[in-house]
Structure 1
Amino acid sequence: MSELVHIVCPHCQKANRVPASRLQDRPNCGACKKPLASGDIAELSDAGMAGFLAKSDLPVLVDFWASWCGPCKAMAPEFQSAARDWAGTVAFAKLNTEQAQQAAAQYGIRSIPTLILFRGGREVARQSGAMSASQLSAWLRGQLG
């Protein structure tokens, strides 16, 4: 029997149990039927962030951003590209600091974009400033070993 991995759907944020051996098969969410590990990015809110982090067995990379931030806008397609490259290995999420001010304050966000990598709901690494997809992947590889 294959080990089960909890993956939170980036679309409806329901937790799904998926055999680890099936992650490469691009499984769909049991609730909304959309892809679980296709490189889609979850949009988090103050209310949903803690649950998303707590329910995911995958490491979660959160991009703290704002709509007025030029570097954030420039990094958005790079973040999306990296999300596709890491699909099924790392869950990618974004949190708009203008709309989710409580979460931004909780994590001490002082500059944007800021990326925080979580494992088991706990922060394990942080990086501020825009990065290309290749830089982001190199940083992730360094953090995940």
Structure 2
Amino acid sequence: MKTKLIPIVLLVLAVAAVVGIKNRKQQEPAGIVCESGMCVLPIPQEKMQPADAAAAPVDQPLPKLLDLGAGKCIPCKMMAPILDEMKESFAGQLDVEFIDVWENQSAGEQYGIRMIPTQIFFDADGRELFRHEGFYAREDMVAKWNELGFTFGEPKKIEQELTSNKGNG
């Protein structure tokens, strides 16, 4: 009787292990929340309020960078850290959003996506200003925003430049 029970116990343990591994792989990285194919990147609390009084109030509409891609697409994965960094650097000045169109196909249709990743630049009133398909480097996106008339201050870089210039004085 015990010899028949051992394979059953081993089978149950194997199934439990496979289910555990599969569930672990499906979890999103820490801080990223995905619901219905729409992923939201977190903003650190210290970035929630503008650093100076001249910055835009939080309740004022902001220009928006919308990246439509997929979590399993290689160029989209390359864009993820860039979008994270921009969301942090430009908090309170630019709204950065990612939508996974493989999980939320209606969003792909809504925005007329032909390929991923696609970045769409919107003004504060929600009007589309520019659209780019494929990987888009951070420097190129910032240059495009500047070309469109938007300049975003980067507190960390400005502080670093001021500190390095004091030593050169």
Q: Scaled by the length of structure 1, what TM-score is found? A: 0.59
Structure 1 match to 2:115: 111
Q: Given the alignment of the two structures, is residue 122 of structure 1 paired with residue 127 of structure 2, yes or no?
A: yes
Q: CA deviation at 1:111?
A: 0.8
Cα distance in 1 for residues equivalent to 2:68 and 2:144? 16
Cα distance in 2 for residues equivalent to 1:144 and 1:102? 31
2:41 and 2:97 in contact (8 A); partners too: no
Q: How many residues align?
A: 101
Structure 2 match to 1:24: 51
Q: Given the alignment of the two structures, is residue 97 of structure 1 paired with residue 101 of structure 2, yes or no?
A: yes
Q: CA deviation at 1:104?
A: 1.1
Task: In structure 1, list runs of 5 or more residues that go unmatched.
Answer: 1-9, 13-21, 26-35, 38-54
Q: CA deviation at 1:112?
A: 0.8
Between structure 1 and structure 2, the one with the greater Rg is: 2
Map Cα deviations across residues 123-143 of structure 1 (whole Å, 9 max, x no partner).
Answer: 221111112222221122222
Q: Secondary structure at 1:24's aligned position in 2? A: coil
1:113 and 1:129 in contact (8 A); partners too: yes
Q: Given the alignment of the two structures, is residue 72 of structure 1 paired with residue 76 of structure 2, yes or no?
A: yes
Structure 1 match to 2:143: 138
Show structure 1 runs of 4+ deviating over 6 A.
Answer: none
More strand by proportion, 1 or 2? 1
Structure 1 match to 2:156: none
User: Sequence identity of aligned pairs in percent?
Assistant: 33
Q: CA deviation at 1:11?
A: 7.7
Give the residue type in structure 1 aligned to 2:106.
Q
More helix by proportion, 1 or 2? 2
Give the residue type in structure 1 aligned to 2:146.
R
Q: Scaled by the length of structure 2, what TM-score is found? A: 0.51
Q: Secondary structure at 1:138's aligned position in 2? A: helix
Q: Secondary structure at 1:68's aligned position in 2? A: coil
